[in-house]
Amino acid sequence: MSLWPNARLPDLSGQTAVITGANSGIGYYAALEFARAGADVILACRSVERGKAALAGIEVQARGRARLELLDLADLESVRAFAARIAARQEAIDILLNNAGVMAPPTRQTTAQGFELQLGVNFLGHFLLTALLMEKLRKTRATRIIQVSSIAHRQGRMAWEDLQSERQYRAWNAYRQSKLAMLIFALELGRRAEAAGLKALSLAAHPGIAATELVRNGPGRNSLIGVLQNLAAPLIQQPGDAGAWPLILAGIDPAARQGAYYGPQGWLECRGLPGAAKAEPKALDKDAGQRLWDAAEQLTGTAFRLYP
């Protein structure tokens, strides 16, 4: 893998990065580069087999600066167990990259707690994880909490009266909603951290359209949108490692400010060098931020406190 032209990561020795979905795609590439820069990386993965394969690759290329921890975001009990293990072993966390995701299952599926799968995995699992790790995230002035959104958030809509898609399930609508929720969450967390005087930066990033397994082999690949996307791939897609660039930049940008959003700088933010991305007004809506926060606390059964 190579970084973008003239990019150079700072020395991350002594820092700890937790990355969900780090066994493949943009999560793996981000984990590899953070480990190469000296960070101790925790690969939070659902699959033991795939997690071990990713760990082996990083150990070879980054001299063993990684370890595997099992995490199933489709089960809040797994999230709680993972957070408890990390809290017991880590004094502080410098980077939390909430990257793992599910894209457009053709039929409605649910998590262990009965949530619609995409809302549950992409957003609710990460909301709970961030809440449970907040004590460790407060321990360093340079903490960065990064939510991975998508250009799909532009067409997303929060179906407040049917967040779980119980009345009507449309795969891509549910996906867009989950990614809009991730961006709203990042911005609301940033506002709350700033109001509380915390130094932690809440950021967001998106990969554009990256040629990863999530896109190539996703359940939605045979839908009309999936077929059209595959036909247009040569024009709009970029390699999977390039899709990780905005995530990496969010993790190391010395000019980062609270609530910053990163993405590719090319046509429609589909591909290109990483830089500032555009968040739609609906993601910036403070009322939506409050409403989503309240809904997530209720659904996860957890009060998200920035202080004990």
Sign of the CA dihedral running 128, 47, 175, 107:
negative
The residue whose two tokens read 């082999």 is 217
Q: Classify residue 124: in a domain, yes or no.
A: yes
Question: Is 304 a member of any domain?
Answer: no
* Residue carrying the six token digits 């990259």: 97
Residue type, 9: L
CATH at 241: 3.40.50.720
- Which residue range is the domain that position 88 belongs to? 16-297
80: nearest Cα among 125, 116, 111: 125
Q: Is residue 302 part of a domain?
A: no
Q: How far apart are CA 132 and CA 80, in angstroms?
A: 7
> Annotated catalytic residue: which of 28, 29, 175, 262?
175
Residues 6+ apart with CB under 8 A from 257: 201
Q: How many domains does the chain have?
A: 1
pLDDT score of 45: 98
Q: Is residue 254 part of a domain?
A: yes
Q: Is residue 264 part of a domain?
A: yes
Task: Record the tokens describing residue 244, joined without a space.
Answer: 């990780």
Helix 48-62 crosses helix 25-36 at what angle (to 10 degrees)? 30
Structure confidence at residue 2 (pLDDT):
78
**175 catalytically annotated:** yes
**Residue 308 domain-assigned?**
no
pLDDT on residue 289? 98
Question: Would residue 11 count as lying in a domain?
Answer: no
In the numeric block, which tokens belong to residue 52?
A: 């071990």
Q: Contact 148/206 with Cβ under 8 angstroms? A: yes
| pLDDT tens for the 308 residues of the chain, in order | 679 999 999 999 999 999 999 999 999 999 999 999 999 999 999 999 999 999 999 999 988 789 999 999 999 999 999 999 999 999 999 999 999 999 999 999 999 999 999 999 999 999 999 999 999 999 887 899 999 999 999 999 999 999 999 999 999 999 999 999 999 999 999 999 999 999 999 999 999 998 865 544 455 555 555 554 554 555 578 998 999 999 999 999 999 999 999 999 999 999 999 999 999 999 999 999 999 999 999 999 999 999 87
Question: How far is it, in rounded angstroms, from Cα 123 to Cα 105?
Answer: 16
Domain for residue 2, yes or no?
no
* pLDDT of res. 231: 47
